[in-house]
Structure 1
Amino acid sequence: MSSRTGWIGIAAAAVVAVAGCGGEGDGGSRAAASDRPSEPPPSTSSPSASSPSAPAATRLSPADLQGRWWTWAASEETSTNPVADEDGRSCDRNQPDDVWFLAGTFGGQVERACTVPSGRPVAFPLINLVGGAADCADFMKTASGTASLDGRDISPDRHLGTTITVTAAPGNPVTDSSGRFSGTGCGLWVQLPPLEAGKHTLKIRGRSADFTVTVDYALTVAAPGTV
């Protein structure tokens, strides 16, 4: 993941700042513009017409997307955590049935190989954070990132500040504590429709201030009926 938390950040993903991870709050995580008010309203920018982003009818809301992703990222201890994953062996841990999440890192660069079931939408952050409203306002001032699928650029959605609920497992490396808590989620996010069966290359890059995330995914989408 490429994420950060004001508490602690993964595209993708780290969780308090990873592709997506970065953030801070009552249950911190490590994931991972112009001036914003201290409590920015939920907001996204529409992907460009040439982007392979998922159609609006199939997309998760900002609150659902971020809350579920952070919960997924904080569902495992370090040895099996998708944000701490060095090669992709943990990418299938605790995946929901209706979407396939990808993670960033706790900062730095990794290469991962991951098999994705057929017919599953894919979602991930380029850079993200969970914390307080002021944390997100500051974080998003310098948040930037890029993503490409098979060499084709993807336009991310920019979520400036959304109230989310996260449930974290004991001993996870993403949040400072376990249990259920609420915070403000923000970052640059991508939602893709189900990918065609076969091999795909996904490149995720995210940055906020001096926190950076670089993840290269070699994705294999299973043929229908095989996973």
Structure 2
Amino acid sequence: MRFTAGAAGLTAVVMVALAGCGTPAATGSESPERGASASTAPEREDARLSSAELQGRWWTWAASEPEATNPVADTDGSACGRNQPHDVWFLAGTFGGQVKRACEVPGGRPIAAPVVNLLGDPQDCAAFMSGARGTVLLDGEAVEPETHEGDPITVRGAPGNPLTREEGNFAVTGCGLWVQLPPLAPGKHSLKIRGREGDFSTSVDYTLTVTAPPDRA
């Protein structure tokens, strides 16, 4: 991740997940097909999030823990299950550099992660996206990242988190390259994400163990 100063104490952050900004941020403000393969379970109709929902929810998730237990600062995957929502499984990035993580993922859950991304204002995002590059490999097969040029979002930060640096709600613009995967088939999977923008680069090698989906009978 790359940090630049933001208004009202918000830190704008560049992140890559697995490895992973509108108006200036303000504290206290209220928020505003991939075909199936051997690696994937049958797709659900609700497996994909809209650009704004994806970015707003992911950044809030990433800012939900202090640095000691934050999934972006995680060095081995031990924090990957913290504060996960019920309908999607988020994967986190690094603050720059490379890590390897092992993570257990519930069966039947779609997966979402940034490749390289930013919080800031529209001008920040325009400059950032002109140089953003990234690749994703799922079990050795290339997955094309999604491009999200910029969406007004609200990010909610928990006390002591290393992203917003402050507790509260922040109105910002989110942009970046992202990947959304339908639920993976039970078993072990390899997910490799590489991202770069300018002199910032990040990568994460994930070993994902997907459990059997719950019995809905």
For Structure 1 versus Structure 2, the TM-score category normalised by the shorter chain is 0.7 to 0.9
Contact 2:47 2:183 (C-alpha < 8 Å) held by counterparts:
no
**Hey, what's the Cα distance between the residues in 1 that align with 2:22 and 2:176?**
10
Asked if 2 retains the 8 angstrom alpha-carbon contact of 1:8 and 1:23, the reply is: no
For residues 97 and 3 of structure 1, what CA distance do their matches in structure 2 show?
29
**1:88 and 1:64, CA in 2 relative to 1: closer, same or farther beyond 3 A?**
same
Deviation at 1:58, TM superposition (A): 2.9
1:164 aligned partner, one-letter code: I
| Partner secondary structure for residue 167 of structure 1 | strand
Amino acid at match of 1:174: L
Would the aligned equivalents of 1:3 and 1:11 in 2 still touch at CA under 8 Å?
A: no
Structure 1: gaps of 5 or more residues: 14-18, 29-46
C-alpha distance in 2 between matches for 1:138 and 1:77? 29
Instruction: Select which of 1, 17, 30 maps to 1:12.
Output: 17
The answer to whether residue 128 in structure 2 is matched with residue 129 in structure 1 is no
2:25 alignment partner AA? D
C-alpha distance in 2 between matches for 1:106 and 1:225 = 34
| Conserved? CA contact 1:25–1:130, under 8 Å | no
Which residue pairs with 1:42 in the alignment? Answer: none
Partner of 1:202: 191
Q: Letter of the aligned partner of 2:59 in structure 1?
A: W
Greater Cα shift, 177-186 or 96-105? 177-186
Q: Percent identity?
A: 59
Structure 2: where are the runs of 5+ without partners? 7-11, 28-32
Cα RMSD of the aligned pairs, angstroms, is 2.7
Q: 2:170 aligns with which of 141, 163, 181?
A: 181
SS for the counterpart of 1:10 is strand
TM-aligned CA deviation for residue 10 of structure 1: 2.8
TM-score if structure 1 supplies the norm length? Answer: 0.80
CA distance in 2, matches of 1:48, 1:58: 11
Aligned equivalent of 2:90: 101
Change (3 A) 1:64 1:205: same
Ranked by relative contact order (alpha carbons within 8 Å, sequence separation 6 or more), the top structure is 2
Higher mean C-alpha deviation, range 181-190 or range 47-56: 47-56
CA distance in 2, matches of 1:202, 1:187: 19
Is the partner of 2:14 in helix, strand or coil?
coil
Q: What does the per-residue CA deviation read over 1:148-193, in whole Å, with 9 as the maximum and x for residues that have no partner?
A: 1000100111001111111110100111322111111000011100
TM-score norm. by structure 2 comes to 0.84
Partner of 2:203: 214
Could you tell me whether the CA contact under 8 Å between 1:163 and 1:185 is conserved in 2?
yes
Match among 129, 134, 137 for residue 140 of structure 1: 129
Q: Which has the larger radius of gyration?
A: 2
Aligned to 2:9: none
Evaluate the alpha carbon distance shift between residue 206 and residue 25 of structure 1 in structure 2; reply closer, same or farther with a 3 A threshold: farther
Letter of the 1:197 partner, please give it.
P
Offset, 1:121 = 0.3
Is residue 151 of structure 1 aligned with residue 151 of structure 2? no
